[in-house]
Amino acid sequence: MCGMNRRRVLALLPAFIAVSTLPACADKGTGPVEVRWGKENCAHCGMIVDDPRFAAQVRGGPKGKVWKFDDLGDAILWMAKQPFVDDPATEFWVGDSDKGGWLDGKAAWYLEGRKSPMAHNFGAVPDKRDGAVDFAQLKKTVLERGSPTQCITPTDGAS
């Protein structure tokens, strides 16, 4: 084997496997990223992101950075304060409240009345249903209502 003995090959095998799997973990520059459920904090309120049905991600800004949120309503409130909110390259990803997985938040439909972590109480679904609203209406409703919780969020000036 090219002058390598079995012991040397077996010693190098774990390193080869580790290096060959790195591209699978790399950020592709678009789309949602992996969330470490129960171990990451919401960029808006600081709460733990642990329920995939209501979580959201925003990818935007000059470097395409990803921010994670425990409630899609928090993501909308946070985005409204960002200079890149209207940039077409800004991506908004939401958890499918029925089947899991990620949906394009700008194309998803939203059902009100689903108990969510920060009480915005909207859940995303992939298709239009009775009572569902589109992204524009969701955004308008969330911005009009503001934060339904009593906590002061880090983006509101709390330290």
Distance CA 124, CA 100 (A): 10
Averaged pLDDT, 58-71: 96
Confidence of residue 4 (pLDDT cuts 50, 70, 90): low
Query: Is 25 within a domain?
Result: no
Q: Which domain holds residue 121?
A: 56-156
Higher pLDDT, 151 or 67: 67
pLDDT at residue 6, rounded to an integer: 67
Distance CA 126, CA 135 (A): 12
Higher pLDDT, 65 or 151: 65
pTM for the full model? 0.77
**Is pLDDT of 149 > 50?**
yes
Query: Is 78 within a domain?
Result: yes
Query: Is 3 within a domain?
Result: no
Query: Is 1 within a domain?
Result: no
Q: Within 10 A of 16 (CB to CB), how many other CB atoms are there? A: 10
Query: Is 101 within a domain?
Result: yes
Confidence of residue 151 (pLDDT cuts 50, 70, 90): low
Query: Is 16 within a domain?
Result: no
Confidence of residue 77 (pLDDT cuts 50, 70, 90): very high
CB 74 within 8 A of CB 44: yes
Query: Is 120 within a domain?
Result: yes
Helix (H, G, I), strand (E, B) or coil at 149: coil
**Is pLDDT of 158 > 50?**
no
| Residue range 80-112, pLDDT digits in tens | 999 999 999 999 999 999 999 999 999 999 999
CA distances from 137 to 76, 92, 95, 119, 121 (A): 12, 15, 18, 17, 14
| Residue range 19-55, pLDDT digits in tens | 444 444 556 789 999 999 999 999 999 999 999 999 9
Number of compact structural domains in the chain: 1
Averaged pLDDT, 55-78: 97
Query: Is 67 within a domain?
Result: yes
